[in-house]
Structure 1
Amino acid sequence: MSKLRELSRETLFGAALLGLTYLAMLAGVITESWWTFAIGAAGSYAVDALLLHRLQDLAKLVQQIRLGITPRALLRQLLVLGLLITTTSATSTGIGMVLLAFLLLFGLQLVAGIAARMLRASRKLPVVTRNIDLEPLNIPDSPPMPLVREPMSRLLPLDAFLVFGVVGYVALGSAWIVAAGAVLTLGVTVLALLMLAWHIRRARTIPSPEQVMEFTQSWLDSYRPEVVLYFSGSADSAYQVNMWLDTMARLPRRGIIVLRERVIAAQLAPTSVPVLCVPTSTDLMALDFGPARVALYPANTGKNIHMLRNPVIKHVFIGHGDSDKIASVNPFSKVYDEVWTAGRAGLDRYVRAQVGVRTDEIVEVGRPQLDAIRTDTAPNAVRTVLYAPTWEGWTDEPGNTSLTDAGPTLIARLLKAEPGVRVLYKPHPFTGIRSAQARRAHQKIVALLEAANKAAGHGEPDTRELAALDRRLAVFDDDRGATDEAHNSREEGRTDPGIIAEAAALVDDWHRVYWKGRPDTAHLVIQGPRPSLYSCFDQADLLISDISSVVADFVATEKPYAITNCEGITHEEFRVKHPTSSAAYMLLPDGKGLDTALAAVHLREADELAEQRRALRTYLLGPSDVTSMSRFTAAVDDLYTRAADLRPLTPLGGETPAGLSRP
């Protein structure tokens, strides 16, 4: 599919509007019509604001085709000079003075851009932290973010006073309008430059990157971490580490969360555990984590190697959910000392896959996140079906997701089901990032549910109370950009248990208000971190999903679930290939089998797979007579003890022990 066809309507509208504004200015110059030019100029400034604050996709596109803010500003100035030149009353001296003002403005803006870059560099620490006291670093308050975040997008439009001063002169013939515009434009630019210089001077109190890393090592020496949760990933994968924060906080051993991407640090959920984000590999590999002997990895990524090279630490892959997907038996798992799975199913997967992971390296630890999962269902007026398909994956293997082959068909049949059911649709966060077909299927499902709600007379819910909770939660959510990283790290330097408890209480209130504010019969499209997947589990009487960790987690509820077989094989072959489907009601892409699954929800005696689900729960997640958290804690303690009992190894880069020689 071409790039043009993938552009959203909003992006195409913005591109058309941008082109029209410059055509209007050009038309004003050609026809000597000052008001036509003024309309075009005003529109161009409005589009600049939209590109900065809303039309980010279009902003990236125009930047790629070399129509960024700088060439657009220069073109606008060239056009207004053209308008001035075509005016009969304009003198060569006046035109020269206006040109000189634009040149002076360009020089000031160039210096301001360099100063903004210097300010960003002076305040960019080599680490991003949370729950680590940075008071010794003497970090001053953040400068206003418009000064450091895309400063040219804010500085260049300041030529508006001078541009409209020229238009005013053309319209009214008064030279003082041009002079006033020039003074305002140059004055505001100089003021911005002075503010930048002041903040650069204040930032001189921040130690050098080398000194910051020395401080970081000193803090590690005093804190003496024992367990490391290490994570690296893309911006949309933060959920993979967030799901382990509570588990880390409940471990009795001193823990630390080590991240590699600044964007992940900004999206990390509230936690009482110290957080250390070290983007540069050499900085991370130079750190000594002291008594730390266990490192836990929720994801397989290339940057894991920078921690894996530490020989005094035992490295454990814990993943971000068990499933029968091929990703759950990644051969990369061989690099870890141990692989921890929820139940026996995880061990059997590796045995079948034969990817080199030995059975004595696999430890069953349960799934701590599921300890609080409920087995009952919210008392809704109608039965609720949760459709939570996984995403399309990086390959085109059949059956990666039911969304493309069966999603809209399943939703259409659910909307016509008798007795009626309510549908909750919660797609995977990655849905549509690779496949246009998946995006179209998602959009069709959203349209079907919106049309069904409209036909049933369901209007928009009252979201005022929810919006108030959102505003309060925004304080705890990912970085909103009001201050810079250094300021945020300083402010979040000390753990306040009360804040963590307040955030948890607000999340609970948010979920209560959300579900209370939606009619029991209204269909819902649920995206983003809230409502959470487990909150949707509480509402659901039936899950329809694919081969993913969602199924394994839902099995903990012991409620009926269905899986769509889109692989073109028999249901018997499917169950053998994917053991998590052994207690599922099987569906075909055309929806065949859905009536049987719905019958199991409406009539308990029609639920033929209840006993199989209970057995599957133990197989997938381990025994239910002991909490997963206690099993997980015991596994950490056991591995830590075994690692600590080993003979200490030479630290990376350290001296060779006596009696040994280097080759």
Structure 2
Amino acid sequence: MTKLRGLGRATLLGAALLTLSYLVMLAGVIAGSWWVFALGAAGSYAMDALLLHRLHNLAKLIQQIRLGITPRGLLRQLLVLGLLITTTTATSTGIGMVLLVFLLLFCLQLMAGIAARMLRVSRKLPIVTRNIDLAPLNIPDSPPMPLVREPMSRLLPLDAFLVFGVVGYVWFGSAWVVAAGALLTVGVTVLGLLMLVWHIRRARTIPSADRVMEFTQSWLDSYRPEVVLYFSGSADSAYQANMWLETMAGLGRRGIIVLRERVIAAQLAPTPVPVLCVPASTDLMALDFGPARVALYPANTGKNIHMLRNPMLKHVFIGHGDSDKIASVNPFSKVYDEVWTAGRAGLDRYVRAQVGVRPDEIVEVGRPQLDSIRTDSAPNSVRTVLYAPTWEGWTDEPGNTSLMDAGPTLIAQLLKARPGVRVLYKPHPFTGLRSPLARTAHRRIVALLEEANRAAGHGDREDPALAALDRRLAAFDDDRGATDEAHNSREESGADPGAVREVAILTEEWHRVYWEGRPDTAHLVIQGPRPSLYSCFNQADLLISDISSVVADFVATEKPYAITNCEGITHEEFRVKHPTSSAAYLLLPDGEGLDTALAAVHLREGDELAGLRRELRTYLLGPSDTSSMSRFAAAVDDLYDRAAALRPLSPLGGESPAELSRP
């Protein structure tokens, strides 16, 4: 039951309609009714289209239980044969001919499936790139997407002409209807097969995987990277790499972004820095990064080992945010040469944890992403509260998140607060990934905010200007468009500073239109990459969150923040355990303490923790007299110089002959 509740209404409704369509076809066979069968068959084809284009979760589920497009198509063909057999005018010869056509169609579809796989393999490069010239690889244009992405889900339903031809025969009694349907079905299937074969022949100009990797090494030798940003992660974690793109572009050294997953390469935001995605570990470990001497790691993942084994590099864990959570002092961090934290708090955290990271290996570099954060009051007529809980985590430790224990209660109290406040709810991207209780709490919060908006007369409405900006930005968001991966890598061969600037301008304009287009009294549920978390910071007068990097980042605004103590310990114990809470207004799961936090927002004299927040900002993020970007760049330069001194470069940019001769 837990799994069923987590599937979602659309998935459950889709499963019910798919099942109903086949039951209706079966009923048509039993009753010998052509129109009942036709109704069920039409429904089954409609569901095939929805599974391909809309109901992706349901498509994955039924594929796992072996009810994919192929068995569904065979079952539909079996049922239409049953309908034909029940028809008194049908002859054994006619039934046999229809069966032969189905067998011929199955053979053609099998050949098409093999050809589609061959095409996919022939066009799948061992690398995915951006801002790297792939002209020498002679990559032809992408085939039409129906031939590349799930081609069999598009070819198999082409039996519709024959299926409805049989239905027409049962209705009219004319064999020509069946013959016409058979010719159309076989004809379009043969056409699809011929197109696949033609594109396979075109793809033969693409070099072999070994040749592509030789080209990659040749490009690295000519580019001579100095700093590597290395990232591996799940599809939902692309934001962890995206947050470092602007920093990489701002370094005064030649940088390269090395990824391991194709899905991350597809979701990576625009950047002028060359991007090289190498999914296979053997391919990555065979590459020589020449003069590169610094590797930066935003996340601790198992695939990091494939770059960590490179002794030419100094390996640095930079993370994707500091917090008091146990994840911020992962014992795995001791495999790096250095760990870079925003401020002194990070160093103290590792010292207390005693996980093997020595104090001399920790460098305070600030948080470059926070240089543009505003510290002035939010530009709203109504005070705004941002509720940004973290996700439930991989364990059930108390205090991982306030979402289940306190989330709906806090939102309900905020909606009743006087003077009134506006609520922005921005959950963590991983919310509900593991816990059904988290998904339930999230849905309850969304329902509360939607109900409050309806009561205030704030209905959902389409914003044409925002929709137009969405369409323009969609072209830059990822490469899941009308072309395949190899084609995209070829087309994105040159870094286009104009494109990066255009995205920045469009994004800024998108945020302006979004915030100006919403009444100050309208509560907002904010999910996805836009609006960004930092733009929500600029709109908020008060943050309510959990022990996470969100709190440490928000401290840069010097505005009041509150943390919910869901660990069952006293506030004094909580502050000792979590230093980032030292300047926070602490809440209990029942909302106790919320009035004090809101008073700090409404009355300046009620903000008794303002001085502590300024001190905490320096402790968490470092001094504010210099930009974090300049400190970070200086740290990169210093480490590079030290690493190059240990392993000198030859005039050609690689390791010196003397260094190579060392044991």
Which residue of 1 is the match for residue 12 of structure 2? 12
Segments of 5+ residues of structure 1 without an aligned counterpart are: none
Which residue of 2 is the match for residue 142 of structure 1? 142
**CA offsets per residue over residues 562-609 of structure 1, 9 Å max, x none?**
001111111111111111010001111111111111001001111101
**CA offsets per residue over residues 231-275 of structure 1, 9 Å max, x none?**
000000000010000000000100000000000000000100000
CA RMSD of aligned residues (A): 1.5
Which residue of 2 is the match for residue 176 of structure 1? 176
Which residue of 2 is the match for residue 292 of structure 1? 292
Distance 1:443 1:145 in 2: 36
Distance 1:251 1:649 in 2: 20
Which residue of 1 is the match for residue 114 of structure 2? 114
Which residue of 1 is the match for residue 547 of structure 2? 547
**Deviation of 1:5 (Å):** 3.2
Correspondence 1:461-610 to 2 at 5 A: 461-610=461-610
SS of the aligned residue for 1:403 comes to coil
**Greater Cα shift, 120-129 or 12-21:** 12-21
Distance 1:54 1:346 in 2: 44
**Greater Cα shift, 207-216 or 2-11:** 2-11
Segments of 5+ residues of structure 2 without an aligned counterpart are: none
Which residue of 2 is the match for residue 427 of structure 1? 427
Distance 1:611 1:78 in 2: 76
Which residue of 1 is the match for residue 218 of structure 2? 218
**CA offsets per residue over residues 89-123 of structure 1, 9 Å max, x none?**
11222112111111111111100000000000000
**1:511 and 1:531 in contact (8 A); partners too:** yes
Opposite residue 109 of structure 1, the aligned amino acid is Q
Distance 1:126 1:75 in 2: 38
SS of the aligned residue for 2:460 comes to coil
**1:142 and 1:487 in contact (8 A); partners too:** yes
**CA offsets per residue over residues 172-222 of structure 1, 9 Å max, x none?**
011111111011101100110111011101101100000000000000000
Which residue of 2 is the match for residue 156 of structure 1? 156
- Does residue 396 in structure 1 map to residue 425 in structure 2? no
Distance 2:586 2:659 in 1: 61
Distance 2:605 2:120 in 1: 66
Distance 1:376 1:657 in 2: 55
Which residue of 2 is the match for residue 337 of structure 1? 337
Percentage of pairs with the same residue = 85
**1:322 and 1:328 in contact (8 A); partners too:** yes
Which residue of 1 is the match for residue 411 of structure 2? 411
Opposite residue 445 of structure 1, the aligned amino acid is I
Distance 1:340 1:656 in 2: 28
**2:648 and 2:659 in contact (8 A); partners too:** no
Which residue of 2 is the match for residue 95 of structure 1? 95
**Deviation of 1:655 (Å):** 12
Number of aligned residue pairs: 659
Distance 1:596 1:659 in 2: 65
Opposite residue 380 of structure 1, the aligned amino acid is N
**Deviation of 1:461 (Å):** 3.2
**2:392 and 2:432 in contact (8 A); partners too:** yes
Q: TM-score with structure 1 length normalisation?
A: 0.98
Distance 1:250 1:658 in 2: 36
**Deviation of 1:656 (Å):** 10
Residues 50, 273 of structure 1: alpha-carbon distance in 2 compared, 3 angstrom cutoff: same
**Greater Cα shift, 104-113 or 372-381:** 372-381
Distance 1:327 1:589 in 2: 23
**Deviation of 1:481 (Å):** 3.4
Correspondence 1:350-365 to 2 at 5 A: 350-365=350-365
Residues 432, 604 of structure 1: alpha-carbon distance in 2 compared, 3 angstrom cutoff: same
Which residue of 2 is the match for residue 51 of structure 1? 51
Q: TM-score with structure 2 length normalisation?
A: 0.98
**1:321 and 1:549 in contact (8 A); partners too:** yes
**Deviation of 1:138 (Å):** 0.6
Distance 1:147 1:657 in 2: 49
**Deviation of 1:468 (Å):** 0.6
**Greater Cα shift, 144-153 or 604-613:** 144-153
Correspondence 1:147-296 to 2 at 5 A: 147-296=147-296
Correspondence 1:22-41 to 2 at 5 A: 22-41=22-41
Opposite residue 246 of structure 1, the aligned amino acid is E
**Greater Cα shift, 480-489 or 181-190:** 480-489
Distance 1:270 1:659 in 2: 41
**1:311 and 1:649 in contact (8 A); partners too:** no
Opposite residue 182 of structure 1, the aligned amino acid is A
Which residue of 1 is the match for residue 631 of structure 2? 631
Distance 2:395 2:649 in 1: 42
**2:132 and 2:494 in contact (8 A); partners too:** yes
Residues 305, 655 of structure 1: alpha-carbon distance in 2 compared, 3 angstrom cutoff: farther
**Greater Cα shift, 386-395 or 474-483:** 474-483
**2:312 and 2:647 in contact (8 A); partners too:** no
SS of the aligned residue for 2:477 comes to coil
Residues 87, 659 of structure 1: alpha-carbon distance in 2 compared, 3 angstrom cutoff: closer
Residues 659, 73 of structure 1: alpha-carbon distance in 2 compared, 3 angstrom cutoff: closer
**Deviation of 1:161 (Å):** 0.2
Opposite residue 470 of structure 1, the aligned amino acid is D
SS of the aligned residue for 1:238 comes to helix
Residues 90, 419 of structure 1: alpha-carbon distance in 2 compared, 3 angstrom cutoff: same
**Deviation of 1:87 (Å):** 1.2
**Greater Cα shift, 33-42 or 84-93:** 84-93
